[in-house]
Amino acid sequence: MLIIKVVVATLLMRVIEGSLVASMREYCVCRANETGVGEPQKLGLGPMFGRSCDVDAGALEARASDPPKLTVVVMAYLPEMAWRLDELVCAYSRTPAVVAKVLVIWNGPNDGAPTSLTCGSEWRETRSGRRGALGSSSVEIVVQERNTLLNRYRHAARIKTEAVLLQDDDVVHSPTALRAFAWMHLAAPRQILGVPPERDYEHRPEREAKYQFAYIFHPRGGPYSFLLGQTSILSKSYLNQFLAGAPRSSLSYILSHKPTCEDLTLHFFVANATKLPPAVFADLRPRMVSGPKTAQMHSSTRKRAWNNRRARCLDRLVKDFGGGIPLKKSRCRLQGNFSARRDPILSRAYDLPVAATDDVAPSPRRRERKKRHLPPLPPEEEEAEEEEESRVARPDDDDDDEEPRREEVPAPQGENFSTEHDAPSARRRRQRRRPNKKKKQQERLLLLERRTFFQSPNDRRADLVAPSRLYY
C-alpha cells in the first residue's frame, strides 16, 4: 500500500511539474543560491514552501477551490484618451475569475471623467464617484480633484483582495498574465512583482561623475533592483503603509514635481522595510496602447535627459532614507507564461479541462507547425485553436495519429514534383539569407555611371579601381 501511495504521489508531481509548481520552485532555488539562505521563509517566500524549496502541492490543490484574485487599480487623466481606458476596463471586466474589481482613479478635472463604457450599461453616479457592473467583475471610478500620483495609494478601503495590481492606462495584460500575477503573489507576498523592462543603479564616486548613483537603463538579463511603475503587483497593506511610513520629504516632492519618481520611492520604501528585491516576470509583456505621442507623459524627453532626472531622484532618495540605498539587487526572474489548460491546478481552479499533456498526442495543426519549423503559438492562441479544432472536428475522426490530409497538387509534365510541403532544408535556408551578389553588383555599377558624369578623369579612374569608396 505504501508503494502505491509513493507511485501516485510521484505521478502527480510529474503531471504538475510543467508550469506553476516548477516556476515557484525554480525561483526559490535561484534565490537560495543567490543569497546562500536555504529556508524559503527567510527569503520572504510564502507558506506553500516547506523547509526547502519543494512546493507543497497539497496546499496548492486546496487553494484551487478558492483561487486568488486581483484588484486592478488604474489611473487616467486624459479625456481625449477615454477610448483607451474603455478598452482596458472592458477587457478586465470579462475575467471575473481572476479580476475581482477594477478601480479607476480619474486623476484630472471632474468635467472630463467618463460617465459610460461602450461594453456595458450606463454608470450610476454617486457622491463619491461612479459605479457600474460589466460582465461579472465590479467596476468603480473615483474622481480626484488634484492631479497627483499619490492618489493611487489612497483607496485601500475600497479593495477587498490581498493582491493589488497598480498599472497605467496605456498597458493591457492578458488573462494568462493576470493568473500568473495572482498565483505568484502567493509565492512571494512581500515582494513587488512586475514585468520588463527592469532597471538598476550603479554607485559612482562624486569626484568621477555628476551624480553619486547612475541610472542603468537596460540590465540585459543581469542584476536589477527596481521596476517601472507601469505595472506593480504588491500587497494591499503596502498602500496605507507607504502613505504613513514614507519620508515626508519624499511625499512632498511627489506632490510638487512632475515627473515625480513615485515608482522609485515605492521600491525604496518596500526594500527598506523587507530587505528583499523585486521580482520580474521574464516572459510576460503587456500589450501597449500608447495612442498619439502627444498623449504620452515623457514623449518630449530624450533618453539622456531622462536618465539624468532619474539619477537625481536616486541621489535625493538616498538622502531621504538616511544616507544609504536600501535597494536589493537580484538576477532571479519568474516564469509566468503557462497555459491554464495544461496545468492541473489552474485547470481545476478555473474549471477548465486539462489538455495537451505529455501523454496526449498533439493535434494535427500542432504537428503541422512543428514539421514546418514554425514557432509555437502563445498559450492563449493555442487554447483558441484547440477549441476551434474540437468544434469543427468530424465525429468519426478519433485517430489523432493519422497524418493531416493534404490537397493533391498535380506535378508539371516532364518534372518530378513532390506534393509534400516539407520544411526547407538547412542549405536552402542559408541560401535565402545570403545577399544577392549580382543585384548588389548591378546597383554599384549603376551608381558608378551616375557619378562618373560629374567627375574628372582622375576621380573616375580611382572609382573604377576601388569602387568600394562609394560606400564610405
pLDDT in tens, 262-297: 999 999 999 999 999 999 999 898 988 876 544 455
Task: Tell me if 243 sits within 8 A of 254, measured CB to CB.
Answer: no
Task: Tell me if 283 sits within 8 A of 335, measured CB to CB.
Answer: yes
Least confident of 56-60, 168-172, 197-201, 443-447: 443-447
Number of Cβ atoms within 10 Å of the Cβ of 97: 18
Task: Tell me if 326 sits within 8 A of 271, measured CB to CB.
Answer: yes
- Measure the CA dihedral 107/296/224/269, to 10°: -20
Please report the pLDDT score of residue 222 as a whole number.
87
Distance of alpha carbon 454 from alpha carbon 461, whole angstroms: 13
Mean pLDDT of 117-130: 42
User: Which of 316, 443, 318, 424 shows the shortest CA–CA distance to 371?
Assistant: 424
Please report the pLDDT score of residue 377 as a whole number.
64
Mean pLDDT of 103-120: 70
Give per-residue burial for 343-368: e unless 16+ CB within 10 Å, then b: bbbbbbbbebeebbeeeeeebbebee
Please report the pLDDT score of residue 33 as a whole number.
94
Structure confidence at residue 370 as a pLDDT band (50, 70, 90): low
Task: Tell me if 219 sits within 8 A of 323, measured CB to CB.
Answer: no
User: For the segment 390-425, what is each residue's pLDDT rounded down to a tens digit?
Assistant: 555 444 444 444 444 444 444 444 444 444 444 456
Please report the pLDDT score of residue 167 as a whole number.
94
Question: Is residue 159 over pLDDT 50?
Answer: yes
Query: If you write DSSP's letter for every residue of 395-461 in order, what string do you get?
Result: TT---TTSPPP----PPPTTS------PPPPHHHHHHHHS--HHHHHHHHHHHHHHHHTTS-HHHHH
User: Which of 339, 360, 361 shows the shortest CA–CA distance to 350?
Assistant: 339
Please report the pLDDT score of residue 401 as a whole number.
40
Question: Is residue 350 over pLDDT 90?
Answer: no
Question: Is residue 47 over pLDDT 80?
Answer: yes
Mean pLDDT of 198-217: 80
User: For the segment 301-339, what is each residue's pLDDT rounded down to a tens digit?
Assistant: 677 788 888 889 999 999 999 988 999 999 999 999 887
Question: Is residue 169 over pLDDT 70?
Answer: yes
Q: Which residue has the higher pLDDT, 155 or 408?
A: 155
Grid coordinates belonging to 263: 515608482
DSSP state of 334: B
Reported pTM: 0.70
Question: Is residue 150 over pLDDT 70?
Answer: yes
Structure confidence at residue 460 as a pLDDT band (50, 70, 90): very low
Mean pLDDT of 133-150: 78
Give Cβ neighbours of residue 332 (< 8 Å, ≥ 6 apart): 27, 30, 31, 34, 279
Please report the pLDDT score of residue 20 as a whole number.
86
User: For the segment 49-96, what is each residue's pLDDT rounded down to a tens digit?
Assistant: 888 898 888 888 888 888 999 999 999 888 888 888 888 888 898 889
Please report the pLDDT score of residue 305 as a whole number.
84
Mean pLDDT of 206-224: 77
Number of Cβ atoms within 10 Å of the Cβ of 126: 10
The burial of 204, by beta-carbon neighbours within 10 Å (0-12 exposed, 13-18 middle, 19 or more buried), is given as middle
Task: Tell me if 123 sits within 8 A of 140, measured CB to CB.
Answer: no
Please report the pLDDT score of residue 375 as a whole number.
62
Task: Tell me if 377 sits within 8 A of 369, measured CB to CB.
Answer: yes
Question: Is residue 30 over pLDDT 90?
Answer: yes
Q: Which residue has the higher pLDDT, 285 or 471?
A: 285
Distance of alpha carbon 40 from alpha carbon 470, whole angstroms: 63
Mean pLDDT of 136-140: 79
First to last CA, the chain: 79
Give Cβ neighbours of residue 202 (< 8 Å, ≥ 6 apart): 213, 214, 216
Question: Is residue 183 over pLDDT 50?
Answer: yes
Residue % of the chain over a pLDDT of 90? 32
Mean pLDDT of 168-181: 92
Please report the pLDDT score of residue 466 as a whole number.
41
Task: Tell me if 274 sits within 8 A of 72, measured CB to CB.
Answer: no
Distance of alpha carbon 199 from alpha carbon 201, whole angstroms: 7
Count Cα neighbours of 184 within 13 Å in the Cβ-side half-sphere.
Answer: 35
Structure confidence at residue 178 as a pLDDT band (50, 70, 90): very high
Grid coordinates belonging to 458: 582622375
The helix or strand, by DSSP H or E, that contains position 215, with its residue range, turns out to be: strand 213-216
Task: Tell me if 329 sits within 8 A of 213, measured CB to CB.
Answer: no
Distance of alpha carbon 147 from alpha carbon 107, whole angstroms: 5
User: Which of 216, 221, 217, 219 shows the shortest CA–CA distance to 203?
Assistant: 216
Distance of alpha carbon 462 from alpha carbon 457, whole angstroms: 9
DSSP state of 189: T
Please report the pLDDT score of residue 395 as a whole number.
42
Please report the pLDDT score of residue 357 as a whole number.
42
